Amino acid sequence: MAQDPGIGFRVVATVKSVKGNCNAGHQVGERFEISCHNTGGLCGFFYHDLFPGLSTFQFGGSRPWWKGDTIELGCPDPHNQVMLSLERFKRS
């Protein structure tokens, strides 16, 4: 497994909602660290979809519709959609 070198912001994901039945077993309220080097146990389909945004977010970037240090992203499964909130923190 890749070692997380601790670069960029620290990012914590929180499962905000689950529509249907998540096939990977993610549950509302679940929290975990995630980064470009650490999937945090996130389903591979979701991680694949969110990676471009995660890399921008982790390294201090933004997109026009992102405000501040918290963003929300959705799973690509439209029938069993998981919504995540990503929050970034400066490393100490």
First to last CA, the chain: 24
- The bridge status of strand 70-74 relative to strand 82-89 is antiparallel
What is the domain partition of the chain in residue ranges?
10-89
**Other CB atoms within 10 A of residue 11 CB:** 21
**pLDDT (tens digit, 9 = 90+) per residue, 52-86?**
999 999 999 999 999 999 999 999 999 999 999 99
Query: How many percent of the chain have pLDDT more than 90?
Result: 89
DSSP 80: S
Residue owning tokens 């146990």: 41
Residue 24 CB neighbour total at 10 angstroms? 14
Name residue 6's beta-bridge partners: none
Model confidence at 4, pLDDT cuts 50, 70, 90, reads confident
